[in-house]
Amino acid sequence: MASEPKNGSEPVRRVTVPTLRAMKMRGERIAMITAYDATFAQMLDEAGADMLLVGDSLGMVVQGQDSTLPVTIDEMIYHCRAVARGAKRAFIVGDMPFMSFQLSAEQALRNAGRFLSEGGAHGVKLEGGVDAADTIRRIVSVGIPVVGHVGLLPQSVHAMGGFRVQGKTLEDAQRVLADAHAVADAGAFALVVEGIPPDLAARIQAELEIPTIGIGAGAACDGQVLVCYDLLGLTPNLRPKFVKRYAEFYAQGRDAARNYCDAVRAGTFPTEEHAFGNVERREEPTCTTTSAPSGYGPTH
């Protein structure tokens, strides 16, 4: 298990696949949050998130698209690398975007590998059930941990006729249950269950040995995942029923930026406190040595 010194003293123990497995056995809930950059990753990691998902939801909340479909594997790797730099404890999962794993098991394996070798992730997630089982088996066979994802599949938004709750009829519930079993049997070490009725999620949780992580699936799962922009209140135009906002960052950020704009216009920022102070200038020496600048601006 990797450990790194925190503030030069306390070691931070990285969450691993065995840690997550043991959490399910002990009945300890798993907290998973999406992250897309280093600063948010650091903040959510310090908050105690067990897993950080570099979700393709970044297509919607970061890129402003109306679905996750346009997100590319290169964009995902870029964000994953940033998240990996920010997080010291959480298990980092890279989300395989649309068309990065459906063409063949070989394509899936190559792209899953990129998440670990280039993106610094510890595992990957991919959407699909029975149809994705062989792909999962192939990725797991080389030692890459896989998180499955069944129920509402955002990459199948057009086939589902929108972002709709799945498994409402008996027949559809049986399909979702079969998907969950197929993913677990293929070797996934955890399973995201999205947008299904709570009783179906409870049945999946009880029948599978691997941890289930719910989103819009009720309280019976072994863990929960939310998009960080949703839980922090950064999505002013979206209020899905399954989201609880734990902060109002958008409103706070807008008000803070407005105060800054007002202060600039009024000439009340910067004050002396934010200036470096005048210096007595002498003639420049003729011979200078250059040194590399640190950070992105002077500090004194």
Q: Which residues are catalytic?
A: 194
Query: Considering beta carbons, is residue 55 or 86 the nearer one to ligand KIV?
Result: 55
Instruction: Kindly tell me which of 133 and 192 has the beta carbon lying closer to ligand KIV.
Output: 192
User: Measured from the CB atom, is 68 or 177 closer to ligand KIV?
Assistant: 68
The minimum distance between CB 57 and ligand KIV, in angstroms, equals 3
Which residue is closest to ligand KIV by CB? Answer: 55
Nearest residue (CB) to ligand KIV, 94 versus 197: 94
Pick 184 or 191: Cβ nearer ligand KIV: 191
Least distance between ligand KIV and beta carbon 55 (Å):
2
Beta bridge partners of 226: 33
Largest Cα–Cα separation, the chain:
85
Would you tell me which residues interact with ligand KIV (CB under 6 A)? 34, 53, 55-57, 95, 192, 194, 215, 225, 227
In the complex, least distance from residue 144 CB atom to ligand KIV, rounded to whole angstroms: 18
Please report how close the Cβ of residue 149 comes to ligand KIV at its closest, in angstroms.
6
- Find the shortest distance in angstroms from Cβ 76 to ligand KIV: 10
